[in-house]
Structure 1
Amino acid sequence: MILSWLLLLSCNKTEYKNEKSGIAISFDDHFINEWYTLRPLLQKYNAKVTFFITCSDSLTLDEITKLKQLRKDGHEIGFHGTIHGKSTEMIDAFGPQKYAETELLPGLKYMSDAGFYPTSYAHPGGNHNDQVDSVLLANGFKILRDVAVSRQILFGIPLYTLAPRIMNRIYYDFNNEQKVDALLIDQDSGVTENEIQDAVVKAKNTNTALMIFGHKPLYTKPGNGEYGFNVSFLETILKEAKKQNLKFYTMTELTEH
């Protein structure tokens, strides 16, 4: 009887430990048609993600329809700035109000006119400071996502390399933090399948949510001017997340658990 009780406690402890563990995947910029083609893959793994939209003034009726279908699928539509500008330079040069009037308010108006009311924000180029963050939070955003890069290269020379499993800032520990970092998984990021699998396992073992992001879905190596992630690499991530029984979170959902 005592042995059975101890085993029950052990099982319950394990279940509790991993009850929130998950993954939050997001995509940036304005690759709406390309993202839409990911629907079957995302549905295959019952995954939900966040799409951060920039240049919302150029949204076509077809793109709006596709975004609404993605939202209906359970995905989140976030905001990535009106002009994708350098926020720190704008706020230093023009002040908080002019920054908001340039980078935030026009794009948010276009979004609301299209039927979207974003509560998550991805910093364009990962460029921001505390003053920028204060303006964003004052405009109703619940979570602000920055950029984390595991490999940094300048003029072909590696400056540093960090394994994702030791980059603690890319794991959300459900402490209501509103300023977060996500790991870049684009093809030029250098992140390997083994590294991302290790990162997924770490999220499972630490009861946290791994945050990652990319740009354009690609099926071959990037052409001139292209930047994005390999779709087969994304499927590796989805498959490992499913294998580890991780929950899929949208970015705003992270702050609600």
Structure 2
Amino acid sequence: MRFPVPLLCLFLITASIFAAEKGSTSEKRSARNSLPAAGVLLTFDDRNMNQWVKQIPLFRKYNAQVTFFVDHFHTLTPQQLEALQQLKAAGHTIGCHGLKHRKAVDYVRAQGMERYLKDEIEPAVKQMTDAGFPPTCFAYPSSSRNEEIDQALLKTFRHLRGGTGLSAGQRMRDLKSIYVPIDQIASTGCLIGTGIDYAGTEKRPDYLTEIKDAMDHAKQRGEIVVFYAHNISDEGPEHHLQPLVLEAILAHAQQIGLATLTYDDLP
């Protein structure tokens, strides 16, 4: 079968564009699966995107990318959506934090797994995908999770994030669950983080030192350490990490050669 010359030219151009895009996608996938010797996953939750977006120059200064987990996506304003677009364009990952920030264990216990997925997960994923933010990762609201729910959600997401806190007198470097060896990342569906809001303030005056020590520990042992916070601002509202403290964390990561990763960097 012979094509008219203009149609043949159009076919060849389209084929070459498709090949180029396919090659680019393969390169990105290959890069994502090639992890550094050690790293830190910084994550931020909820709907503070109008504050998050102000930190793009700070992240760029340290060549750092992070993950933002968003809930109540259906309530976002055009300004908030534009902020998310800017964050995504800057190389950051936008993940899912549920439709209405429901506690998974309580909801599954009361309504069942199927109802939880239909009420909290499926609509959130659809809304994010329709808006151009298809999520590959999920953070449990209030760190409410169990193995059964993990397995159900890992059919939709590549990785999840739970959470844990420090016991009295416990050092962050000894909080074993927040570290994952690099060679075990691909097989670890749910990574566990610890909260770092208020680090360096009167509420948690020693936390910045603890965070840096935990990062040193991850670097020395060839692991990824996971942290989570919420707003990024000097005074909140609510749970927040001050920009100067965030910069101290990013600067320390750069100083010790600890890669700052997003969830989309993980295999």
- 2:218 matched to which residue of 1? 203
Q: Secondary structure at the match of 2:112?
A: helix
Once the two structures are superposed, residues 87-145 of structure 1 have per-residue CA deviations (whole angstroms, 9 ceiling, x without a partner) of 1111111111111111111111211121111011100000011222122112x201110
Relative to its length, the structure with more strand (as a share) is 1
Give the Cα–Cα distance (whole angstroms) in 1 for the partners of residues 208 and 102 of structure 2.
32
Change (3 A) 1:19 1:66: closer
| Aligned amino acid, residue 263 of structure 2 | M
Residue 207 of structure 2 is aligned to residue 192 of structure 1? yes
1:150 Cα offset (Å)? 2.0
**Cα RMSD over matched residues?**
1.7
Residue 179 of structure 2 is aligned to residue 164 of structure 1? no
Give the Cα–Cα distance (whole angstroms) in 1 for the partners of residues 158 and 126 of structure 2.
18
Residue 35 of structure 2 is aligned to residue 35 of structure 1? no
1:100 alignment partner, one of 79, 100, 117: 117
Q: Secondary structure at the match of 1:38?
A: helix
Identity of aligned residues (%): 32
Give the Cα–Cα distance (whole angstroms) in 2 for the partners of residues 169 and 46 of structure 1.
27
Judge which range, 62-71 or 116-125, deviates more: 62-71
Give the Cα–Cα distance (whole angstroms) in 1 for the partners of residues 204 and 109 of structure 2.
30
Judge which range, 98-107 or 128-137, deviates more: 128-137
Give the Cα–Cα distance (whole angstroms) in 1 for the partners of residues 53 and 177 of structure 2.
29
TM-score (norm 2): 0.80
Give the Cα–Cα distance (whole angstroms) in 1 for the partners of residues 71 and 116 of structure 2.
16
Change (3 A) 1:181 1:31: same
TM-score (norm 1): 0.83
Give the Cα–Cα distance (whole angstroms) in 1 for the partners of residues 119 and 221 of structure 2.
40
8 A Cα contact 2:150 2:189, kept in partner: no
Could you tell me which runs of 5 or more consecutive residues in structure 1 were left unpaired when the two chains were aligned.
Answer: 1-17, 152-159
Could you tell me which runs of 5 or more consecutive residues in structure 2 were left unpaired when the two chains were aligned.
Answer: 1-34
